[in-house]
Every structure is written in structure tokens, then in C-alpha cells.
Amino acid sequence: MQCKTRLATERFDPNGEYATFQSTLVDEGAIVTFVGVARPQSAAGGKVTGLFLDHHPRLTEASLNEIAVDAGRRFDVSAISVVHRCGNVSPGEAIVFVATAALHRRAAFEAAEYAMDRLKTEAVLWKREDAVDGSRWIEPTITDQVDRARWSK
């Protein structure tokens, strides 16, 4: 299984990540990609001026790698790529990119979903949303926790 993870300190291009990922594949019949994008509005409706993602000098990258490896092992995928931003992120910029490849679609879909559910709750990152009506540190929602818990069954 091919596994690649990267903590990006600068803006990255999801299309470029996909092209790189796709170029490494051989005989897979399914590729799934997910791109998480910084929203321009907060949950309260205020205009978001940016996000700040605090990170740990070692454990953040280790957590990305652990999640990607687990996703690859749990499902029958041949390749997985995870790129996650840290630092200052502007609205409209990609925060996270996940790509999975497998012989068939089900494994690729499930591995990508599993990876995202764990990234939301277990990636060693701390996300602050800065909006015109104030800043707030974002924490996983009940839905995020439920989404994560379903993979424990």
C-alpha cells in the first residue's frame, strides 16, 4: 500500500495533488478524492476573514500518517494521500485533501470517509475561525464524534 502524507505550511493546489496521486497508480479502477475548503461564513453567519491552524512540531505529521496508514490497512486500497494545511488559511483555500485508490469503488469511498472522520477528531491540530464578529476555537461537533464512533463498531 502506497501512503503519502504532508503537512502543508502554504497554500496547495488540490488539482496538482490529484495529478500527482493519479500518476502513481497502475491498475486501480476507482479513485476517490475529498477536498475540505475554508468556508467564507461562520456558523453564526458572520463573514470569515480566515482560519488559523495551530500544530505540533512532531505529533501533527505523525497523526496524519497514522490515520492514513490505518485507513489503508482497514480497507482494501492500494494508495492513499493526505495533505493538511496548517498556519493561516484564507476563505476558499483548501484545508485538507484526501485521495484513495482501489480496484473497486467501495473500498476507495470508505477509506476516504474513514480518514476524514478521524482527521476531524484526531488529527493533532487546533483550528481557530476568525470572523468579523469575533474569533473562536473550533472543536469537533457531536456529529463529528458520532461519525468517528461509527467506525469503532
Partner 1 sequence: MKVRFYGRLGEMLGAEIDVDPPAGTDTVLKLREVLVQTYPDASTDLRQRSRACIADTMVSEDHKLLGTETIEFFPPLSGG
Q: Which residues sit at the interface with partner 1, rule CB under 8 A?
A: 36, 53-56, 58-59, 62-63, 84, 95-96, 116, 119-128, 137-140
> Least Å distance between CB 140 and partner 1?
6
d(CA 80, CA 25) in angstroms, rounded, equals 10
Nearer to partner 1, 19 or 62 (CB): 62
From residue 30, alpha-carbon distances to 80, 112, 134, 146 in Å are: 12, 12, 42, 27
Smallest separation (angstroms) from partner 1 to the CB of 142? 13
Q: Shortest distance, CB of residue 127 to partner 1, whole angstroms?
A: 4
Closer residue to partner 1 (CB): 78 or 148: 148
CB 99 within 8 A of CB 28: no
